[in-house]
Amino acid sequence: MSLDTASRPGKTETDDLVPSRYALRVGEIDVLVISDGVLPLPAATLATNADAAELAAWLDYMRQPPDVFKWPLNVVVVRSGGRTILVDAG
């Protein structure tokens, strides 16, 4: 996979099966963020001790439905100095 291809959404290659990605460069480090989709969670599981009205207001502010929070799942690939590191916090 090429960071060059990842940073140009209009360019096609066989690795275009990834649903969403973007690349950036931080100094000498190449960073590629890859989306692994979205995990819909019941909104009540986000803040079990929060006031229901405050949670609903926050979800509305975040343009989310009141009953489900769509949690984006991403992994990060970091390349520097001939090394490649996959960061997956899930």
- Confidence at residue 17, expressed as pLDDT on a 0 to 100 scale: 46
- Count of alpha carbons within 13 Å of 61, Cβ hemisphere only? 6
Q: How far is CA 22 from the centre of its chain?
A: 10
Contact assessment for residue 7 and residue 23, using Cβ atoms and an 8 Å cutoff: yes
Are 73 and 38 within 8 A, CB to CB?
yes
Q: What is the pLDDT of residue 1?
A: 44
Cα separation, 73 vs 54, in Å, equals: 25
Residue-by-residue pLDDT tens, the chain, 90 positions: 444 544 444 554 444 444 577 899 999 999 999 888 888 888 888 888 889 899 889 889 988 888 888 888 889 999 999 999 999 876
Gap between the Cα atoms of 44 and 42, Å rounded: 5
Q: Provide the pLDDT for residue 19.
A: 56
